[in-house]
Amino acid sequence: MATMSVQIDEKVTLNGRDFGQTRSTTIDGINTIDTRVFVATSTEMDLIKFDLAAGNGQFIDGALKYLRISHLSGSDDLHVRVVGTDEEYAVLVPTGGSVVFFDQGMDATQTSTTPAVTADGTVSINFANINKISVVSDSADITAEYFVATS
Domains observed in the chain: 33-150 (2.60.120.1300)
* Residues 6+ positions from 38 with CB-CB distance below 8 Å: 47, 135, 143, 144, 145, 146
The answer to whether the bond into 115 is cis (omega within 30° of 0) is: yes
Read off the pLDDT of residues 70-93 as tens digits, 9 standing for 90 and up: 999 988 999 999 998 888 899 999
0.85 cut: is pTM over it?
yes
Phi/psi for 37 (5° steps) reads -100, 135
Average pLDDT, the chain: 91
How many CA atoms does the CB half-sphere of 33 hold within 13 Å?
9
Pairing of strands 132-137, 78-83: antiparallel
Tens digit of pLDDT at every position of the chain (151 positions): 999 999 999 999 999 999 999 999 999 999 999 999 999 999 999 999 999 999 999 999 999 999 999 999 988 999 999 998 888 899 999 999 999 999 988 887 655 555 566 667 677 778 889 999 999 998 999 999 999 999 9
